[in-house]
Structure 1
Amino acid sequence: MKIYKSALIMAIALSSSFTYAGEDKIYSSSILNGTTKKSYFIDFTISIRGEGGGHSHDREVFGQVHVNSINSSEVDSEAWAKDKSHYDSTKSIEGSVDSITANDSNNDYITLSGVLNDSKPGGSEVICRLKPEIPFYQKDKGNPIKGVFTDNINCISVTITRFDKI
């Protein structure tokens, strides 16, 4: 009787566990609920209009860009930053974040925020600000995305160049 009772308790415990098998796969309840965590590796490029006749001259860019969220998980990770005394003379900036942990999703996206400035003799001017509510999806990787800036027309687009998860 003790063996039968032990087997019954074991069967109940196993049937109420958080995993089940199907089609030669084992699913955890956290996977089924979409709460598994993944590490994300993100790279992006922000294209900027040059200065001068024909916009041919580089801008002296400084500022900050942050990844605010991944799949609605707040992360607030700095992806690019230059101060006024260490600006980049360029027509594009490249931001990068490595190994941000966030919830997994079937439709991965990030949001960005930040301000880009142009260093000028005697001061500086805002080139553009990123709209923090705009999602950048993994499926859009490699495609320039426009209409994601405020304040000025000097920023052209954001292109996600890497969006990997492990």
Structure 2
Amino acid sequence: MKYFSVFSLGCRVNAAETNLFAQTLINKGYETRHPRKSGDPSIIFINTCSVTAKANVESLGLIRRLQFKFPKAQIIISGCADTQNIKNLKNITFIPNTIKESKLNILKSLYDPTIGDKFSHTHRYLLKVQSGCTAACTYCTVPILRGFLIYSKLF
């Protein structure tokens, strides 16, 4: 059996993207696996947060812990992580938020809504409407890391 683990740090946008990624893997025959259970995950998806310096440190700490614990796993990083810190890590696939249009098209092409959501542990489906905001709060690095907002038709 092929196993995967997902971790979502930060906002509901990250949670929605993480659920979509997990659902895609389930549709491809993978089974979700919590890192404390038997069966090492072959894929680990981490959706990071860098709204504050503390969130950025937590994201990088989680990545390093999982790299150490599962050295054979393919680790995929997304979210608003600080790219300068991610580039220094080895054996990491990083999907930057600056390629939002491509990311959206990739996710749309992989997800079949007729299959249903087998991953979410709630009865509510998270529908991603927007990535980030246009405010320039002094403590927040998200507008810089995520790039400009874009408009995209779903169908």
TM-score range with shorter-chain normalisation? under 0.3
Compute the TM-score of the two structures, normalised by the length of structure 2: 0.24
More helix by share: 2
More strand by share: 1
Larger radius of gyration: 1
